[in-house]
Amino acid sequence: MKVLELKNVNKIYNSTEVKVHAVNDVTLQFEEAEFAAIVGPSGSGKTTLLNLIGGLDMPTSGEIIIGGTNLSRLKSSQLIDFRLNNIGFVFQSYNLIPVLTAKENVEFIMTLQKWPREERDERTYELLKAVGLGERINSRPSKLSGGQQQRVAVARALASRPKFVLADEPTANLDSKAATTLLEIMEKLNHDEKITFIFSTHDPRVVKMAHRVITLEDGKVVSDERKE
Amino acid sequence: MKEEFKIAWRNLWRNRRRTMITSASIFFAVFFATIMRSYQLGSYDHMINNLIESFTGHLQLQHINYQDDPLIDNSFDYNDSIVSAILEIDKIVSVTPHLESFTLASNGTQTKGVAVIAIDPVKEKKFSDPEARLVKYRITDEALECIKESGKIADGVIGKVKKSVGRSYSSSVRIELELGLSDEEKTLWMPQILKCSEFSNGFLSGNDEGILVSDRLAGFLKVAIGDSVILMGQGYHGVSATGIFPVRGIIKIPSPEIDNKLIIMTIPAAQKLFDAEGKITALVINLADKSNKTIKKVKTGINALLKNKNITARTWYELNPILYQQIQGDSQSGQLMLGILYFIIFFGIFGTVLMMVSERKREFGVLVAIGMQKKKLKRVVTIEMILLGAIGLVCGLLASTPLILYFYYNPILLKGDLGNMMEDYGWDAVMPTAWFGPYFYWQAVIVTIMVLLATLYPLRKIGKLKEIEALKG
């Protein structure tokens, strides 16, 4: 089932004297439960493309359609609600809410969605257990290691069962062991929860584990390979 | 809302030291503002209680021309029906008739222009209570000799008493204050001093034809109780007003200016002297609630009752415009000081807000990116700011409450020159605080306004927030 479709998407930055064509006529489709990596050298447009897919930025032209909804047609507040209900985010620098515990961070999205307390608790424990933090549910981010924080971020991204999760360089700040653990967890959750994961990454370990690798150069898709 | 409150509360304590400093600045501003304002309003109340309630009254019924031309010709007919009708109006405590004029007072070769206030001795008790101002003690040469002869009193105390020879007092407290005795000296020597300086005095009965003479005037005229004073002046519509009046008592008025020229007599005696049968110059009205709102309401009620359009009710501030302006001016300067204090505190709060926004820009971006509506985020920040203000505000109000209560019931006693000066002006030499009123609650309003004004900045920033830029930090 198709969860995301990009049609001739362009993003041009005019803020500097030179026009920068950050995303150049990208057309892509993502199916349910894909585990895809967007790779490419620095400045190739990976993060910009991820921001466009996540509705954090708007394309200069083209269409981004998620579950039948064209993001360009949504107002700012509708877009926020759309992200809340359809997209999970994992950021490079974790970006957990520092004043909330691991459990509260994970259930935050569900609270915004007004889930009943019992369901919220059940889902939170299930996810924190799945990411190996069942014993640290009441720890605040400052008491967790980088790898643990990123695992909480993954649990948060998956909490409300979004259509897909966007992960921008999720392993960039992690050591090798933590990165491997995180990737294994994400792959397992991708398999168990049937949620699409889209990464932008430089990390060869991510590329190795990804089922699909999209390569960008100068904002253009130069290759789109699916592994068997 | 619970979640928003939780995040706001925890955010507040992220930077514990900064929150404590900001709350402390609000605390001290509220604390000092409340105490300062309470003392200021308390002193006005005290002044009004002492001066207005004992002299002018909260309201006076007068002939319409009396304010500009205070002559006995501008008097009006006094009868019980006016009093009964006025007493029907809510909040009125007392209605007291006065007939006031000026005459020359003479005894032997001494003559002086004096103010004559004619009263109803019974009704006046509820108002200025002149009986309480009767001289009870007078330190004379004989009294000093008596004190010395007792042989028990220390030389230092004798020296202090000697300096007060010739002075009169309406209470033992006033002698204590003036002599400046220590607690031990008071216990040991005051009974003897009071015994030797005791002064036998008298008061007026209902239709008495005698007079009370103020202490300094009695000294000038060289009259004592039982002597007579001749009064000469102009009566109603130019008739000659002359009479001879026995001195029934000597009263001590703290204000030297009034003490030099006051004669009190009964209304029937004054009406006979001035040939003003049935006339008075003022009906003095005191109220239970002295707020301007009540005073205005009662004034309107009284004026509506009056059939004689030559009579009108005037408020104490219309009767004492200079005093009222002084109080207003002083009050406004106090408010200005508090305004400056709060202005400075506002910048402290605003500084905290600027830091908070700068530190949390990225976090705001994340929250909006993952699906928190901006209005919800604005609510969290507003709650956080209100909590910040509320901590300082509540602590400030709570800390000032016991002090206000204590000094309301136990006002500071002013001693020395300041105390004497206040007593000479006719005020009790005390500094009370004001009871809790709008001034107390206004602190909450001011702090809330300051906090909300400071909150406008982060609210604007959140409103204009672009997730992409915010996420870059």
pLDDT tens string A193-216? 888 999 898 888 888 888 899 999
Residue A133 pLDDT level (bands cut at 50, 70, 90) = confident
Strand B110-119, strand B92-107: pairing:
antiparallel
> Would you give the DSSP letter of residue A203?
-
Domain extents for chain B? 2-51+323-471, 99-316
Do A80 and B367 make contact, defined as CB atoms within 8 angstroms? no
Residues B70, B60: Cα–Cα separation, whole Å:
13
CATH of the domain at A29: 3.40.50.300
Interface test with B, best of A66, A77, A95 (most B CBs within 10 A): A95
Tell me, yes or no, if A74 comes closer than 8 A to chain B by beta carbon: no
Residue B426 has pLDDT above 60, yes or no: no
Q: What rounded mean pLDDT belongs to chain B?
A: 88
- Give me the domain span that covers residue A8: 2-226
Percentage of chain B exceeding pLDDT 70 = 97
As a residue count, chain A comes to: 228
Cβ count near B14 (within 10 Å): 14
pLDDT average, residue stretch B234-254: 91
Do B3 and A111 make contact, defined as CB atoms within 8 angstroms? yes
Secondary structure in 3-state letters for chain B: CHHHHHHHHHHHCCCHHHHHHHHHHHHHHHHHHHHHHHHHHHHHHHHHHHHHHHHHCCEEEEECCCCCCCCHHHCEECCHHHHHHHHCCCCEEEEEEEEEEEEEEEECCEEEEEEEEEECHHHHCCCCCHHHHECCEECCHHHHHHHHHCCCCCHHHHHHHHHCCCCEECCHHHHHHHHCCCHHHHHHHHHHHHHHHECCCCCCCCCCCCEEEEHHHHHHHCCCCCCEEEEEEECHHHCEEEEEEEEEEEECCCCHHHHCCEEEEEHHHHHHHCCCCCEECEEEEEECCCCHHHHHHHHHHHHHHCCCCCEEEEEHHHHCHHHHHHHHHHHHHHHHHHHHHHHHHHHHHHHHHHHHHHHHHHHHHHHHHCCCCHHHHHHHHHHHHHHHHHHHHHHHHHHHHHHHHHHHHCCEECCHHHHHHHHHCCCCCEECCCCCCHHHHHHHHHHHHHHHHHHHHHHHHHHCCCHHHHHCC
Tell me, yes or no, if A89 comes closer than 8 A to chain B by beta carbon: yes
Residue with tokens 């003003």: B276
What does the pLDDT read at residue B44?
A: 85
Residue A2 pLDDT level (bands cut at 50, 70, 90) = confident
Instruction: Say if CB B364 and CB B470 are below 8 A apart.
Output: yes
pLDDT average, residue stretch B140-159: 82
Residue B150 has pLDDT above 80, yes or no: no
What does the pLDDT read at residue B417?
A: 66
Of residues B10, B369, B374, nearest to A56 (C-beta): B369
Do B373 and A156 make contact, defined as CB atoms within 8 angstroms? no
Q: Which residues of A touch B3 (CB under 8 A)?
A: 108, 111
- Min Cα distance B404 → chain A (Å) is 39
Residue A31 has pLDDT above 60, yes or no: yes
Of residues A57, A81, A99, nearest to B371 (C-beta): A81
Residue B106 pLDDT level (bands cut at 50, 70, 90) = very high
Interface test with A, best of B2, B15, B370 (most A CBs within 10 A): B370
Q: How many domains is chain A partitioned into structurally?
A: 1
Residue B194 has pLDDT above 80, yes or no: yes
Residues B260, B92: Cα–Cα separation, whole Å:
32
What does the pLDDT read at residue A53?
A: 92
Of residues B10, B11, B371, nearest to A83 (C-beta): B371
- Min Cα distance B368 → chain A (Å) is 7
Do B3 and A54 make contact, defined as CB atoms within 8 angstroms? no
What does the pLDDT read at residue B101?
A: 94
Among A43-47, A183-187, B105-109, which stretch is predicted with the lowest mean pLDDT? A183-187
Residue B55 pLDDT level (bands cut at 50, 70, 90) = confident
Tell me, yes or no, if A65 comes closer than 8 A to chain B by beta carbon: no
Cβ count near B372 (within 10 Å): 23
Q: Which residues of A touch B468 (CB under 8 A)?
A: 51, 56-57
pLDDT average, residue stretch B246-274: 90
Residue B424 has pLDDT above 60, yes or no: no
Q: Which residues of A touch B374 (CB under 8 A)?
A: 76-77, 80
As a residue count, chain B comes to: 473
Q: List residues of chain B with CB under 8 Å from any CB of chain A.
A: 3, 7, 10-11, 14, 362-363, 366-376, 467-468, 471
Provide the 3-class DSSP secondary structure of residue A130. helix
Residue A42 pLDDT level (bands cut at 50, 70, 90) = confident
Closest A-chain CA to B3: A111
pLDDT average, residue stretch A140-158: 89
Interface test with B, best of A48, A97, A149, A156 (most B CBs within 10 A): A97
- Min Cα distance B460 → chain A (Å) is 16
> Who has greater pLDDT, B403 or B159?
B403
Do B374 and A111 make contact, defined as CB atoms within 8 angstroms? no
Most confident range (mean pLDDT) of A127-141, A173-187, B118-132, B373-387 is B373-387
Residue B335 CA to its chain's centroid (Å): 17
Do A51 and B468 make contact, defined as CB atoms within 8 angstroms? yes
Residue B67 has pLDDT above 80, yes or no: yes
What does the pLDDT read at residue B423?
A: 64
Closest B-chain CA to A58: B468
Closest A-chain CA to B361: A95
pLDDT average, residue stretch B3-32: 88
pLDDT tens string B374-398? 999 999 999 999 999 999 999 999 9
What does the pLDDT read at residue B422?
A: 66
- Min Cα distance A84 → chain B (Å) is 4
Interface test with B, best of A80, A91, A115, A156 (most B CBs within 10 A): A80
Of residues A57, A76, A89, nearest to B370 (C-beta): A89
Strand A196-201, strand A35-39: pairing:
parallel
Residue B427 has pLDDT above 70, yes or no: no
pLDDT average, residue stretch A98-109: 91
Residue A48 has pLDDT above 80, yes or no: yes
Residue B256 pLDDT level (bands cut at 50, 70, 90) = confident
What does the pLDDT read at residue B61?
A: 92
Residue A173 pLDDT level (bands cut at 50, 70, 90) = confident
What does the pLDDT read at residue A181?
A: 82
Single-letter amino acid, residue B145: E
Residue B319 has pLDDT above 80, yes or no: yes
ipTM above 0.95, yes or no: no
